[in-house]
Chains A and B, each alone.
Chain A
């Protein structure tokens, strides 16, 4: 299985390459990708240099242009596609039908992947993308268990890529409007969930209180682990009690599921976290590279030991093992 690793900066790309990535995914410094965060992402020049460096080490570069194009501004997405192809990207990761159509028509030999943002979670949807636009791979939403993934692999000609580590979203990838509701900006349209410009932390009665767009979303005691300041990770008061009603602040860590995912026929394993620093990239990529090497040699997967990197300092295998069913 290929190891697909995140890079938010050229330094992170280099760290991922050194740590053993088979491919690195990254995006331009604008709203065309779903990690449009301050100080992050690549200029055109940086992308060309990054691709050259990766290729020298036999590593592929996948460019995420995975937001939904804004009406009247499609030129921004067209330029991103054209420039990524010209830079030598090994694949484009797209979600919007318009960007898929443009890329397929204007760059027919370019390898295209369906982004997780497209929410393609069944064989019919995946077949539609493959037949309409020639997509070669689909990044599966994090809503499927291993048996469902195996079923999709059997019924699809498309390669499959699944997330194995990093931040989790509520199970409406590409369709979530929580950030939009609170701030007017969303990962789907603006490339940023819960933008930092709308986040504030204040100390109140010994608690750290986080707000997003003026909404209080959480408060943490002195030594309580924290999560990202997103509405989906907020704690709310309801008539039935108080707590995390969407999801807990935990990270996905599917290291123990790797043998099952391989058995299911998955092509590639993806690590989330283009917004994270070099230390995260290097540590997580190296850890999963070691696990894959151990599995290849017939050993049991070593424990990843990545808890400190996890949101809320806690991990989950997510939907891969749906214990609630």
Chain B
């Protein structure tokens, strides 16, 4: 019989190189804000089912913290009056916060990485209202949004290149073998 082959799955997102994070540190956040607002309005119009899935959680305040970027995002999906803004550090009083490397967050949002697998491997972590985070994850997973382009589009050509860079890097990572319990 032929030898068995391994059918691997990609699961471990890479972290952005520190130099890239440092290079982004001086960039002002102000130009990003209108782009984020536009992005969120666009998402709201294009994916109305997303609010249906979020249900009561659409009124919650979400923090999204890419741990390898020198900025974070505050998201308030509220139907009809959504708010998204970039911040240097997340403010207190958010309902829930999702932390992880940018590639992991984008991969999960785009449906190329599994959120539970990222959680099991401790790549991604949730604080606060876990139900709200779960609802957001499921709603976005179903919506099939090109989140990388939307999220980083505010940085113009640099953002688009960054999104593509992350996407290529994510595809390139083979999975590490796990242990067998019995």
Task: Spell out A's residues near B (CB within 8 Å).
Answer: 8-12, 15, 37-40, 43, 195-197, 199-202, 208, 220, 222-227, 229, 248-250, 275-280, 283-284, 286-287, 290-291, 294, 298-317, 321, 323
Contact of B122 among A202, A220, A276 (CB under 8 A): A220
- Give the complex CA separation of A229 and B129 in angstroms: 14
Contact of A314 among B11, B137, B181 (CB under 8 A): B181
Task: Name the interface residues of B119-137: CB closer than 8 Å to any CB of A.
Answer: 119-122, 125-127, 129-137
Given the contacts A303-B4, A309-B117, A201 and B127 also touching, CB distance less than 8 Å: yes
B114 at the interface (CB under 8 A from A): yes
Q: Is the CB of B112 within 8 A of A279?
A: yes
Task: Spell out B's residues near A (CB within 8 Å).
Answer: 1-12, 52-55, 57, 107-108, 111-117, 119-122, 125-127, 129-139, 141-144, 175-182
Q: Is the CB of B181 within 8 A of A225?
A: no
With both chains docked as a complex, state the minimum distance between the C-beta of A261 and any C-beta of chain B, in angstroms: 17
Residues on A with C-beta less than 8 A from B2 are: 299-300
With both chains docked as a complex, state the minimum distance between the C-beta of B127 and any C-beta of chain A, in angstroms: 6
A-B contact pairs, 26 of them (CB 8 A): A11-B142, A11-B143, A38-B57, A39-B54, A39-B137, A202-B127, A208-B125, A222-B122, A229-B130, A249-B120, A277-B116, A277-B138, A279-B107, A279-B111, A279-B114, A283-B9, A294-B4, A299-B1, A301-B4, A305-B6, A305-B177, A308-B11, A311-B116, A312-B120, A314-B180, A314-B181
Residues on B with C-beta less than 8 A from A311 are: 116, 120
Q: Is the CB of A303 within 8 A of B178?
A: no
With both chains docked as a complex, state the minimum distance between the C-beta of A210 and any C-beta of chain B, in angstroms: 10
- Give the complex CA separation of A265 and B182 in angstroms: 24
Given the contacts A39-B137, A299-B2, A303-B7, A12 and B142 also touching, CB distance less than 8 Å: yes
Given the contacts A196-B134, A250-B181, A306 and B9 also touching, CB distance less than 8 Å: yes
Determine the residue in chain B with the shortest Cβ distance to A316.
Answer: B181
Residues on A with C-beta less than 8 A from B182 are: 316-317, 321, 323
With both chains docked as a complex, state the minimum distance between the C-beta of B23 and any C-beta of chain A, in angstroms: 28
Residues on B with C-beta less than 8 A from A299 are: 1-2, 4
With both chains docked as a complex, state the minimum distance between the C-beta of A44 and any C-beta of chain B, in angstroms: 13
Given the contacts A39-B139, A280-B116, A308 and B130 also touching, CB distance less than 8 Å: no
Residues on A with C-beta less than 8 A from B8 are: 305
Top 8 closest pairs, chain A to chain B, by CB? A307-B178, A39-B138, A308-B11, A39-B135, A9-B142, A38-B135, A196-B131, A278-B111
- Give the complex CA separation of A56 and B17 in angstroms: 45
Contact of A302 among B5, B112, B142 (CB under 8 A): B5
Residues on A with C-beta less than 8 A from B119 are: 226
With A39-B134, A195-B131, A305-B9 known, 20 other A-B pairs at CB within 8 A are A11-B111, A38-B131, A38-B132, A39-B142, A200-B130, A201-B125, A225-B122, A229-B130, A277-B115, A279-B114, A299-B1, A302-B5, A305-B8, A305-B177, A306-B9, A307-B179, A308-B11, A310-B117, A321-B182, A323-B182
